[in-house]
Amino acid sequence: MKLASNPFSKYFQLIRLFWSTAISAELEYRMNFIFSALTSLGGLAGSLFGLFLFYGQGYHFQGWSWEEALIVVGIFTFLKGFSTAFLAANLNRIVKHVERGTLDFVLLKPISSQFWLSFHSMSLWGLPDILFGLFIVLYAGIKLKLSWTSYLSGLIPILFGATILYSLWFILGATSVWFTRIYNITEVLKGLMDAGRFPMVAYPVSYQVFFTFIVPVAFLTTVPAEALLGRANPSWIIGSGCLAIALLWFSNQFWRFALRFYTSASS
């Protein structure tokens, strides 16, 4: 296949090539697909059960009805699928590249190394979570009689949330230049992301501070859900946008900085 000269369409074509090979590699394991669908379904049932334990006893998170809390669960599931599909495989690869010294090959390619590392792979196994997440949001939305403009206004903060998530993940991946074997660092992020299952008001104040200013989980699920419900404070959405752009910029700077310390492994 010939690559176009226009840089945008070149990158676009590359993504298509990357992903079609990634998909054919994954389809080799057909049992996995069934399992991942089952796993997503089970995970969703578990999330709902976890939420039900609170609401079933007549308790509710301050200011969140059952359906409203469901929207948070839906966005959480969606983002989990997004990170399985687009982030996990790619960024674990950075670690592998550094460890084996194969990052050399990536750095010698005439395209942005951050682009290569971020888009090289995609995993179909994230698809069920993405679909189930959307389904839950839609179900709760219909129950709450949300108009289509509500969904639209929720879309923007979700995009910001996804950008924040990507940037954080990439920054963590970049630290592998110093620490080499840190596959688990993404697991820590995944673990902390679990806090996004519930709206922020469900937590004590100390937790809320932590999840807003230190690990910005609040911007991943709670802010988009509030925007969708049409009651978000505009300053939160603007804050979310600023954070997304700042983190994206920082991830790129940080990657360049990290590369200065890259000493390609000798064997």
Q: List residues binding other proteins (CB under 8 A).
A: 20, 23-24, 27-32, 35-36, 38-39, 42-43, 45-46, 49-50, 53-54, 56-59, 62, 179, 181-185, 187-188, 190-192, 194-195, 198, 202-204, 206-207, 267
Shortest CB 177 distance to other proteins, Å: 14
What's the DSSP call for residue 92?
H
Shortest CB 2 distance to other proteins, Å: 18
Q: Report the 3 state secondary structure along the chain.
A: CCCCCCHHHHHHHHHHHHHHHHHHHHHCCHHHHHHHHHHHHHHHHHHHHHHHHHHCCCCCCCCCCHHHHHHHHHHHHHHHHHHHHHHHHHHHHHHHHHHHCCHHHHHCCCCCHHHHHHHCCCCHHHHHHHHHHHHHHHHHHHHCCCCHHHHHHHHHHHHHHHHHHHHHHHHHHHCHHHHCCCCHHHHHHHHHHHHHHCCHHHCCHHHHHHHHHHCCHHHCCHHHHHHHCCCCCHHHHHHHHHHHHHHHHHHHHHHHHHHCCCCCCCC
CA pair distance 235, 170, nearest whole angstrom: 26
Q: Which is nearer to other proteins, 7 or 63 (CB)?
A: 63
Q: Which is nearer to other proteins, 71 or 146 (CB)?
A: 71
Q: Which is nearer to other proteins, 34 or 108 (CB)?
A: 34
CA pair distance 99, 127, nearest whole angstrom: 29
Q: Which is nearer to other proteins, 187 or 246 (CB)?
A: 187
Name 101's Cβ contacts closer than 8 Å, sequence gap at least 6.
Answer: 264, 265, 266, 267
* Cβ atoms within 10 Å, residue 140: 23
Q: Which is nearer to other proteins, 8 or 59 (CB)?
A: 59
Shortest CB 9 distance to other proteins, Å: 21
Shortest CB 239 distance to other proteins, Å: 22
Shortest CB 230 distance to other proteins, Å: 25
Shortest CB 191 distance to other proteins, Å: 4
Shortest CB 180 distance to other proteins, Å: 9
Shortest CB 26 distance to other proteins, Å: 9
Q: Which is nearer to other proteins, 141 or 197 (CB)?
A: 197
Q: Which is nearer to other proteins, 4 or 41 (CB)?
A: 41
Q: Which is nearer to other proteins, 5 or 266 (CB)?
A: 266
